[in-house]
Amino acid sequence: MKIVEISHVSRVYKVGDHEQKALDDVSLELESGKTIVILGPSGAGKSTLLNLLGGLDSPTSGTIKIKGQDISTLNADQLAEYRASGVGFIFQAYNLIPTLTVLENVALVKEIAKDPLSSHDMLREVGLGDHMYKFPVELSGGEQQRVSIARAVTKNPDILLCDEPTGALDTETGIMVLKLLQRMAKEHGKTTIIVTHNQNIAKMADVVVHVKNGKIKEVINNDKPLAVEEVEW
Amino acid sequence: MLFKKLIRTIGRYKAQFISMIIMVGLGVGIFLGFNIEWKTLEVNVAKAFEDTGFADYRIVNERGFSEEDLKKIESIDGVDAASRFLSVNVPRKDDEDIVMLTVSENISVSGFKVLEGTPYDPDDAEGLWISERYAKQNGLSVGDTYTMVYKSLEFSGPIRGLVKSGEYMICLVEKAQLMPDHEKNGFVYVSPAYMKAKVGMTFYPQIHVRSDLPKETMIDRVEAALGKSYMIVDKELVTSYAEAHGEMTEGKTMAALLPVIFLAIAILTMITTMHRISISEKTQIGTLKSLGFKDRRILRHYAAYGLFISICGTVLGVVLGLGIGYFFINPNSVMGDYLDMEHWELHMPLWSIAVVIMINVVLVLATLYSVASMMKGTAAEALKPYAPKAMRRMWIEKKKVWKDLSFATKWNIRDILRHKSRSFMTLFGIISCMLILIASFGINDTLNSYIDDFFENSICYKTKIVLDTEQAGDADVAALIDRYEADWTSSMGVQIGENTYAMEIYGLEHEYFRFVKGHGEHIDLPDDGVLICERIAKKEGLKVGDTFTVSVYGTSEKYDLKVADIAKSISESVMMSDTYAGKLGVNYQITELFTNETEIEESPIISSTQTKQALLDTFKSFTELMNVMIVMLVFISVLLGIVVLYNLGIMSYAERYRELATLKVVGFKDRHISRILIDQNLWMTILGVLVGIPAGIGVLKILLVMLASDYELTLTIKWLTYLIATALTFGVSFIVGVMVSRKNKDIDMVEALKVAE
């Protein structure tokens, strides 16, 4: 089943009098339940693509359908509802609320998501059952990213959007986080879209989308995606 | 190059910079404004007294002083000048106006200054020198003829000059009058030659004296010179002097109280805001350090921010201060209605300039203090972004109730406790706003209740008739009382110890005059004791049941009086019934009648009449003066609330920007996030209001003691005041909350996805 249908999407930013095309007439279709990696160098437009998919930004032209719903025409409130239940974000900088405990950071999404999962269960699943009442600052980077994953999955969205999820972590911790991400996506049946410039991560993807200069250069279907531990890091 | 950085940084934080400039401007402006107010009064009032030879002492003898008496006074060692003096209230012919007909034998004492017309001539037996203010209000000019009626005699003559006099700087013709009415009342000076020509004699019940001698010495020397004790009134008890100086004291009090709040807020806001800005600038400070800039150079650069704010704020403050000063003290202001003086140029105490410079220094030091903490350690350490204090679990989190709170509530509670200085400043701003509102509306309530007590509950007559005590025989007065079905009073000067008061005896068959205490409770005049006013009770340490002795001026009569109750009174007086006076055998002469009749026929024994309405009209001006002050204070407190809360709101918003963006990314709607921000504002407002109410009452108590000890005011705050003050404070908080939370729409969520610097 197609979960993402991007059709002739462009995103143009105005910088003073100058127009900068971050995405230029991009079209892409993605299947449900897959792990998709968007690869490309800095400034290629991969983060712009992720922002559009996550409803953080709207395209200048073209349409983006998520499960058949065109999100490019939604207003601010409708986009907020979409973000509340449709997608879960995992950021490179974790973006946890420092004044909320680990449990509260995860549980806060239950106030807005339509069909959330148990935040306690989710924290236990990511191995933080003993750290629920700690504040983010008391956790390591890897642990904070696990909280971020738990928060994203608790919303029970169809899609997990990950922006350089291991970018701020050392290799060992990064591998552990990716393992967790892969396991959670599989167990909960989520489509996972990862934006990265790390070629190795692409090896664990079902689909690899190469982006350069605001255009999709290549979409490669990977018949034999590797498990995280099989990838040479 | 760093100058460019300075300009651009100011542009980046323009909301904070503008808020701080306004805060400093308000602080400096209010400080200077109130100091300009009292200083201007001090200089110009002193000049007016100096120009017209305002007397230091007034020796009073109702039977009059002879030329020989005057010579004896003049010969006292330490007396610079003396003059026999007469001032009587006389009506203008065919008019309700009452003017004070005045003769000062030696015009250099309690005289006047001619603003227009010919100089005073003691031998001029025809001309009048008339109050310039009264003349202008009534379209009178030099050369016009003016006519008064006194003791059935017409006093008429051409106006020789329009004048001002320190003696009548506050021109009140009636002791219960609070504000002058320049259209109906004024003063007219004539020469002794004029009086002699019109009346055939001169009668002077007072000798005015200019002398630096202390009061006790003056009393002793006058007694020694005249061989008898007389009532001696020093200038501090004369309305013009006392009230003008009262205004200065009020100005000084306000200058000491109000600006402190504003300056404290300005300095604290400066520290909090500059701390926030230097946190944002920390990596830049580190960069400058790593590039090789010396600490001193960097500090100098950041000191320029503080200097910029304090200079702009000071300029704004000086303009505002002059504006406030002029607003209060100009000939067309309510103060201009109150004080009739020639000069109104603004003056500023020199030391206030030094204080303003000090404020600037403190503001710059506050900036340096904030920046210095960000520069600590090596360049590498300075390069690291600011690490906020780690969150710790609080005691409340261990309570069961904590678990039931929504995340927004927990978030807000932690945010308040985490950013203590910001939260404290917010609270301080709200408390100050509420405090000023309660105090200023409270002044209004208290004065209105005072006016109600005296003029609605106490004065029940329609007309007061002032008798000419020299002409009025007992039978004539009795006939008048019958004719007008009048109540009456007699007033005489008495001493309790060293202090001089009035003793009033009342015959109140019709209850045209009633006595009140506390919050306007009616009390009867007893037949076995006296009522004393609150001020006498306080000054003499008297309470109900005590007995005290009064000696009547100019006689050897002494009476032991029992305090039956303590009442409110406009003048400092002892009040007794005619029955009690009869029992004690007090000698008295009726001086005033109270009646419900409004048509009073002219009579040789009636000196003047005054309607209750005319008296009430003077209060309108008095309340106008208060209303102007209240409107200004309300405006200032609302502005203060908006500026402080907006500045702190913006700061809070900036501090939580990333968190708010995260909330938005995970799916929170703008209005949900706004509600969280507004909720925090409302909590702080509730707390601020709860603290602000008692604080406001406390400040009002202080203000009443410091500003209005001459009036027996009972602190009164109506429910409506609490309601309006609370509504205004909440309104300010809500509006600012909405203003800040509207910024949510502009949160760039994409930014939140980026890695923090």
Could you tell me the pLDDT band of residue B83, with boundaries at 50, 70 and 90?
A: very high
Flag if A111 and B406 touch (Cβ within 8 Å). Answer: yes
Interchain contact, B407 vs A111, CB within 8 Å: yes
Q: Determine the average pLDDT of the residues in B5-27.
A: 84
B176 vs B174: CA distance, rounded Å: 6
- B455 pLDDT higher than 70: yes
Residues of A whose CB is below 8 A from B660: none
- For residue A3, is it within any domain? no
| pLDDT tens digits for range A89-138 | 888 888 888 878 899 889 888 888 888 999 999 899 888 999 998 888 88
Q: What is the pLDDT of residues B315-345, one digit of tens each?
A: 999 999 999 899 888 888 878 888 999 999 9
Name A57's bridge partners.
none
Question: Across the strands, what pairs with B594?
Answer: B464, B487
Nearest residue, CB atoms, B669 vs list A80, A100, A163: A80
End-to-end CA distance of chain B: 23
Which range of residues forms the domain containing residue A101? 31-59+84-227
Structural domain contains residue A16: no
Average pLDDT over residues B402-420: 84
How far is the CA of A151 from the CAs of A133, A173, A186, in angstroms? 15, 19, 16
**Residue B632 vs residues B235, B310, B319: alpha-carbon distances, Å:** 33, 24, 16
Q: Is residue A69 part of a domain?
A: no
DSSP string for residues in B569-612:
-SS-EEEEEHHHHHHHT------EEEES-------TTEEEEEEH
Domain for residue A17, yes or no? no
**Residue A35, in any domain of the structure:** yes
CB count within 10 Å of CB B84 equals: 25
Q: Checking DSSP bridges between strand B547-552 and strand B487-496, what pairing results, if any?
A: antiparallel
Q: B546-566, pLDDT tens digit by residue? A: 999 998 876 778 899 999 999
Helix B407-418 crosses helix B420-451 at what angle (to 10 degrees)? 90
A71 belongs to a structural domain: no
Closest CA relative to residue A9, chosen from A229, A216, A219, A224: A216
Q: What is the pLDDT, as a whole number, of residue A171?
A: 82
Other CB atoms within 10 Å distance of the CB of residue B471? 14
Total structural domains in chain A?
1
List pLDDT tens digits, range B568-608.
Answer: 887 788 999 999 999 888 888 898 999 998 888 877 788 77
| Cβ-defined contact of B391 to A98 (cutoff 8 Å) | yes
Give A-chain residues touching B407 at CB under 8 angstroms: 100, 104, 107-108, 111
Q: How confident is the model at residue B299 (pLDDT cuts 50, 70, 90)?
A: confident
Smallest Cβ distance to B755: which of A56, A108, A168?
A168
In Å, how far from its chain's centre is CA B269?
28
Position B91 confidence tier, pLDDT thresholds 50, 70, 90 = confident
Confidence grade of residue B757 (pLDDT, cut at 50, 70, 90)? very low
Name the minimum distance, in Å, from the CA of B281 to any CA of chain A: 21
Contact B665 A95 (CB under 8 A): yes
**CB B752 to CB A95 under 8 A?**
yes
Chain B interface test: which of A103, A108, A119 (most B C-beta within 10 Å): A108
| A112·B659 Cβ contact <8 A | no
Question: Which tens digit of pLDDT belongs to each residue from B641-660?
Answer: 888 888 888 888 888 888 88
Is position A78 within any domain?
no
- CATH at residue A95: 3.40.50.300
User: Residue B609's closest CA among B588, B594, B619, B622?
Assistant: B594
- For residue B756, pLDDT beyond 60: no
Among B18-27, B49-58, B170-179, top mean pLDDT goes to B49-58
Strand partners, A207: A36, A221
Task: Confirm whether A221 is domain-assigned.
Answer: yes
- Report the share of chain B in percent with pLDDT over 90: 34
Of the given ranges (B151-160, B513-522, B680-689), which has the lowest mean pLDDT? B513-522
- Are B756 and A108 inside 8 Å of each other by CB? no
- 3-class DSSP state of B454: helix
User: Is the model's pLDDT at A37 over the cut of 90?
Assistant: yes
Q: CB-based contact (8 Å) between A107 and chain B?
A: yes
- The alpha-carbon gap from A83 to the nearest alpha carbon of chain B, in Å, equals 5
- Averaged confidence pLDDT in chain A: 88
pLDDT, chain B, mean? 86
What are the tokens at B606?
A: 């009636």
Nearest-CA distance A226 → chain B (Å): 28
- pLDDT (0 to 100) of residue B69: 93
Interface of B to A at Cβ within 8 Å reads 388, 390-393, 406-407, 410-411, 414-415, 418, 658-659, 661-670, 672, 745, 749-750, 752-756
- What pLDDT score does B378 carry? 66
Q: How confident is the model at residue B696 (pLDDT cuts 50, 70, 90)?
A: very high
Asked if A108's CB is within 8 angstroms of B407's CB, the reply is yes
The candidate with the shortest Cα–Cα distance to B376, out of B271, B281, B286, B284, is B286
Opening angle at CA B654, ends B653 and B660, nearest 5: 60
pLDDT tens per residue, range B141-166: 999 999 998 777 889 999 999 999 99
Could you give the C-alpha distances from A134 to A103, A125, B393, in angstroms and in order? Answer: 8, 17, 8
Which structural domains are found in chain B, ordered by start? 1-52+252-387 (no CATH), 62-229 (no CATH), 419-459+612-757 (no CATH), 463-597 (2.40.70)
